[in-house]
Chain A
Amino acid sequence: MIRISKRLELPPYLQWLIRASSIIFALIIMSVFLLALGHNPIKVYSAMVTGSFGTFFRFRKTIELMIPLSITALGILVAFKMKFWNIGAEGQILMGAFAATFFALKFAYLPRPLLLILMAIGGSLIGGLWALIPAFFKVKYATNETLFTLMLNYIAIKWIIYLQYGPWKDPQQAGFPKIPDFSVNATLPTLGGIHVGWLILIALVIIAHIVMNKTKFGFEIAVIGESKNTAKYAGMSVNKVILSTLFISGALGGLVGMMQTSGVHGTLSTSITGGIGYTAIIVTWLAHVKVHLIPVIGLLFAVLIQGAFFIQTAFQIPHSVADILQGMILFSALGSEFFINYRLHLVKNRRAKRVVK
């Protein structure tokens, strides 16, 4: 029989040791799998690292993945800090991308800095408003935000598909449904070979850190997350804070949408997110909803995704196996949190045995 009980807080080094061991555990399990498929696991794992950093191009691609992952995770973080389970980042990214694309297509004649700023503001605004919808219904009618935000993702996806097959279909594509490519004016400039999103990320991490830890607003978010009753008791305008927080959360997603269309893909389609809206939830969670850990975990995930992608080509590992590898590592990482918080006791005797001294 196994009994589970809550642990006292472990010292940080032990916590990290457990996390590291769990990842190693996943890698060992996967090694057996890879060996069975005829691959040298050590080669595969080191290829995941070289596949992420080996050349400047790969490094760029890894960073280009880390940027949207981390910024989206920051957006999710502010909502999660308030225990508002916003899993609608995917939709918020897409709606932000929609707004950015609107400016990119309809105002392509504007000078580049002006157009880019318009796109960024438009993207953030629409992303924020998209997140405000579930927040409004939560505040007003106590709806379940988890379901609500999730469902809005599908609406956003269908909206983009509608635009792609309908009003925004590029007439120059021989009948194929595709939204036109952005002009140079609507493309984010690069700095050091990578689009300027990395600068924005650094700025946002610093700002988010200050807001969450030093300002009244951040304090209110934290208190509401702990207890709405206490927040009301302390004189906080709970609903106002919830609405503004969700606007910010969605706006960050919207900004990511703008950066993905403008900086990476150069057009709009549903695949600009690449599932970032969902992956970022796990990033936020593994970062323990702490701002300073977000870029670190974001980078780890970028490496994991990029590496898994690389080994598919390099070793001709089927997509599904690469998926299992990612899933295994994720599962272990999340599972390690269980062992950090709980301990298992093996209880040997099945029934109450009386042992005579």
Chain B
Amino acid sequence: MRKLKIISVLVLSLLVLLTACSDQGSEPQGTTTKVGFIYVGMIGTEGFTYSHDQGRLYLEQELGVETMYQEAVDESAEVETVIANMVDQGCNVIFGTSYGFGKYMLNVADQYPDVKFLHCSGAQDAENMNTYFGRMYEPRFLSGLVAGLKTKTNKIGYVAAYEISEVIRGINAFTLGVQTVNPEAEVEVVWTHTWYDPATEKEAALALIDNNCDVIAQHQDTAAPQQAAEERGIAAVGYHSITEKNAPEAYMTAPIWNWNDYYKSEVEKVIAGTWTPENVWLGMNDGLVLLAPLTENAPDGAAEIVEEYQSKIIAGDFHVFSGVITKQDGTTIGEEGQALSDEEMLNMSYFIKGVNGKIETN
């Protein structure tokens, strides 16, 4: 027992000494631009957060600015702490990449008037805060073309997260793509009520496959549905980022994000002192969203038809949601020769004809 006492006292005094010697000063605050990223998930090797982190690395590489990030931040008041910490570290541009961060970014935005806040997928802005997002439904439509050509059973499975407009819009766009090339095919939807839960999502995909689906698409943050397809030897469409190595035999393509150009131009504006908060919803013509290159798993002829629609969309000659669209319940929306407004698309709460699935409305 005495030995223990002596050792502990020794270690304690050593530590006190070391602490006293170390400098307590915080990092020097520079006047240069420093960019902070707040992520809701872990960076990992695929998915939504990964795609943003690619953008962050691009910034470092292209503009030589310093960046920092924090992963796995809850959509709660925790965000305020992260912002404070980042500002303490000298950040003057902060990207928050989840919808739920908005309230807390807004809460503290006026406390840091010199810091620019950019909120991905948000809805509220301020004098030093904007919102930005991408028209993911455009590449989703293109991925629908690929899936529609691929299916033999004319049943395509779609593993979806939650019954919200963003997801519903994606399913409808995808279905429109499928039906463009294959009017017989239907899209079967299963809700997982998770964003990130590989086990549940895989289960859902397997259930769809058991139900005779031979292509799996997804609105999830993991590659689990694609892995289920891989295991059963059928084809899959990914999401968020290229995941070919997760399912080499199944993966055909994926609607993905490319934040590089947007992030670069915004930070350049900040450096130049010309940044103003501008809320944007950018599409394929801005390069923010795109369809990943097709792999060998994609069906013959897909590349050509994707190319055709892609150039039409980029040129503004084609809108995914245009003309008269028949809803699941038989009613219609839209007028011949006109596209749905952004407002209508943002509040989409119905499935179109050809989707098998239910939206539990309240």
Q: What residues of chain A have their CB less than 8 Å away from a CB belonging to chain B?
A: 14, 17-18, 20-21, 24, 27-28, 40, 42-43, 45-46, 50-51, 54-55, 57-58, 61, 64, 158, 161, 165-167, 169, 172-178, 181, 264-267, 269, 271-272, 274, 306, 309-310, 312-314, 316, 318-320
Q: With the chains together, A46 CA to B70 CA distance in Å? A: 20
Q: With the chains together, A165 CA to B100 CA distance in Å? A: 13
- Point out the residues of chain B lying under 8 angstroms from A309, CB to CB: 78, 81-82, 85
Q: Considering only CB atoms, which chain A residue lies closest to B83 in the complex?
A: A313
Q: With the chains together, A314 CA to B86 CA distance in Å? A: 7
Q: With the chains together, A55 CA to B84 CA distance in Å? A: 10
Pair B349/A21 contact, Cβ less than 8 Å: no
Q: Considering only CB atoms, which chain A residue lies closest to B68 in the complex?
A: A316
List B residues 303-321 near A (Cβ within 8 Å). Answer: none
The A interface, classified by DSSP as helix, strand, loop or mixed, is helix
| A161 CB, nearest partner CB in chain B, Å | 7
Q: Considering only CB atoms, which chain B residue lies closest to A175 in the complex?
A: B165
| B70 CB, nearest partner CB in chain A, Å | 5
| B83 CB, nearest partner CB in chain A, Å | 9
* Residue from A17, A20, A175 whose CB has the most chain B CB atoms within 10 Å: A175
Q: Considering only CB atoms, which chain B residue lies closest to A343 in the complex?
A: B1
Indicate whether A174 sits within 8 Å of B26 (C-beta atoms), given known contacts A21-B8, A42-B18, A318-B71: no
- Point out the residues of chain B lying under 8 angstroms from A61, CB to CB: 80-81, 84
List B residues 332-362 near A (Cβ within 8 Å). Answer: 346-349, 360, 362
Pair A14/B103 contact, Cβ less than 8 Å: no
Number of residues in B with C-beta < 8 Å to the partner?
Answer: 54
Pair B76/A40 contact, Cβ less than 8 Å: no
Pair B70/A312 contact, Cβ less than 8 Å: yes
Indicate whether A175 sits within 8 Å of B84 (C-beta atoms), given known contacts A272-B76, A319-B72: no
Pair A17/B103 contact, Cβ less than 8 Å: no
- Point out the residues of chain A lying under 8 angstroms from B272, CB to CB: none
- Point out the residues of chain A lying under 8 angstroms from B80, CB to CB: 61
- Point out the residues of chain B lying under 8 angstroms from A173, CB to CB: 123
- Point out the residues of chain B lying under 8 angstroms from A169, CB to CB: 362
Indicate whether A24 sits within 8 Å of B15 (C-beta atoms), given known contacts A177-B164, A265-B76: yes
Looking at the complex, which one of B76, B81, B107, B162 makes contact with A271 (CB distance below 8 Å)?
B76
- Point out the residues of chain B lying under 8 angstroms from A274, CB to CB: 74, 76, 78
Pair A167/B8 contact, Cβ less than 8 Å: no
| B176 CB, nearest partner CB in chain A, Å | 19
B11 contacts A by Cβ under 8 Å:
yes
| B191 CB, nearest partner CB in chain A, Å | 10
B331 contacts A by Cβ under 8 Å:
no
A-B CB pair tally, cutoff 8 Å? 126
Pair A181/B26 contact, Cβ less than 8 Å: no
8 cross-chain pairs, A with B, having the tightest CB-CB distances, nearest first: A175-B165, A271-B74, A313-B85, A42-B22, A271-B76, A319-B71, A166-B362, A21-B8
Pair A46/B24 contact, Cβ less than 8 Å: yes
Interchain Cβ contacts under 8 Å between A and B, 22 examples: A21-B4, A21-B7, A24-B11, A24-B15, A27-B15, A40-B22, A45-B19, A51-B85, A55-B84, A61-B80, A61-B84, A64-B77, A165-B164, A176-B164, A176-B166, A265-B76, A309-B78, A309-B85, A310-B85, A313-B70, A313-B85, A313-B89
B62 contacts A by Cβ under 8 Å:
no
Q: For the A-B complex with A176-B165, A269-B76 known, give 7 more contacts whose Cβ atoms are closer than 8 Å.
A: A21-B4, A174-B346, A176-B123, A178-B100, A309-B85, A313-B36, A319-B72
B245 contacts A by Cβ under 8 Å:
no
Pair B164/A269 contact, Cβ less than 8 Å: no
B12 contacts A by Cβ under 8 Å:
yes
* Residue from A42, A58, A169 whose CB has the most chain B CB atoms within 10 Å: A42
Pair A161/B76 contact, Cβ less than 8 Å: no
Q: With the chains together, A181 CA to B165 CA distance in Å? A: 20
- Point out the residues of chain A lying under 8 angstroms from B349, CB to CB: 175
- Point out the residues of chain B lying under 8 angstroms from A181, CB to CB: 103
- Point out the residues of chain B lying under 8 angstroms from A45, CB to CB: 19
Looking at the complex, which one of A17, A51, A319 makes contact with B8 (CB distance below 8 Å)?
A17
B69 contacts A by Cβ under 8 Å:
yes
Looking at the complex, which one of B70, B107, B164, B362 makes contact with A167 (CB distance below 8 Å)?
B362
- Point out the residues of chain A lying under 8 angstroms from B78, CB to CB: 271, 274, 309
Indicate whether A21 sits within 8 Å of B19 (C-beta atoms), given known contacts A173-B123, A176-B99, A309-B85: no
Q: Considering only CB atoms, which chain A residue lies closest to B41 in the complex?
A: A319
Interface string of B17-28 (1 = CB under 8 A from A): 011011110110
Pair B22/A43 contact, Cβ less than 8 Å: yes
Q: With the chains together, A51 CA to B85 CA distance in Å? A: 8
Q: With the chains together, A234 CA to B76 CA distance in Å? A: 49
| B89 CB, nearest partner CB in chain A, Å | 6
List B residues 33-84 near A (Cβ within 8 Å). Answer: 36, 42, 68-72, 74-78, 80-82, 84
B163 contacts A by Cβ under 8 Å:
yes
Indicate whether A24 sits within 8 Å of B12 (C-beta atoms), given known contacts A166-B360, A174-B123: yes
| B122 CB, nearest partner CB in chain A, Å | 9
B3 contacts A by Cβ under 8 Å:
no
- Point out the residues of chain B lying under 8 angstroms from A55, CB to CB: 84, 88
Looking at the complex, which one of A46, A269, A320 makes contact with B22 (CB distance below 8 Å)?
A46
Pair A314/B89 contact, Cβ less than 8 Å: yes
- Point out the residues of chain B lying under 8 angstroms from A312, CB to CB: 70-71
Pair A175/B68 contact, Cβ less than 8 Å: no
| A137 CB, nearest partner CB in chain B, Å | 27
B152 contacts A by Cβ under 8 Å:
no
Q: With the chains together, A28 CA to B18 CA distance in Å? A: 12
Looking at the complex, which one of B19, B163, B346 makes contact with A165 (CB distance below 8 Å)?
B163
Q: With the chains together, A45 CA to B15 CA distance in Å? A: 11
- Point out the residues of chain A lying under 8 angstroms from B4, CB to CB: 17-18, 21
Indicate whether A17 sits within 8 Å of B348 (C-beta atoms), given known contacts A178-B99, A265-B77: no
Q: With the chains together, A14 CA to B5 CA distance in Å? A: 8
List B residues 107-135 near A (Cβ within 8 Å). Answer: 107, 121, 123
- Point out the residues of chain B lying under 8 angstroms from A177, CB to CB: 162, 164
Pair A20/B8 contact, Cβ less than 8 Å: yes
Q: With the chains together, A271 CA to B101 CA distance in Å? A: 12
Q: Considering only CB atoms, which chain B residue lies closest to A267 in the complex?
A: B103
Q: With the chains together, A169 CA to B347 CA distance in Å? A: 13
B232 contacts A by Cβ under 8 Å:
no
Q: Considering only CB atoms, which chain B residue lies closest to A165 in the complex?
A: B162
Q: With the chains together, A319 CA to B15 CA distance in Å? A: 26
Q: With the chains together, A30 CA to B346 CA distance in Å? A: 48
Pair B166/A319 contact, Cβ less than 8 Å: no
